[in-house]
Amino acid sequence: MHRVRLQGLEATKGLAQRLARQMAPGDILLIDGELGAGKTTLVRSLVEAFGGDPALVASPTFTLCNQYQARLRVAHVDAYRLDGPAGLVALGFDEQMDGGIGVV
Q: How many CB atoms lie within 10 A of CB 31?
A: 16
The reported pTM is 0.88
Beta-bridged to residue 28, according to DSSP, are: 102
Cβ-proximal residues to 40 (8 Å cutoff; 6+ apart), any chain: 57, 58, 59, 76
CA distance 72 to 100: 5
pLDDT digits (tens, 9 = 90+) for 2-21: 888 888 899 999 999 999 99
Residue 1, pLDDT > 80, answer: no
Burial (CB < 10 A; 0-12, 13-18, 19+), residue 40, is buried
**CATH number assigned to the domain covering 9-103:** 3.40.50.300
Higher pLDDT, 22 or 33: 22
pLDDT for 25-34, tens place per residue? 999 999 988 8
For the cut 90, the answer to whether the pLDDT of residue 61 exceeds it is: no
Give me the percent of the chain exceeding a pLDDT of 90: 59
Separation between Cα atoms, residue 12 and residue 44, nearest integer Å: 10
Note the pLDDT tens digit of each residue in 42-59. Answer: 999 999 999 999 999 999
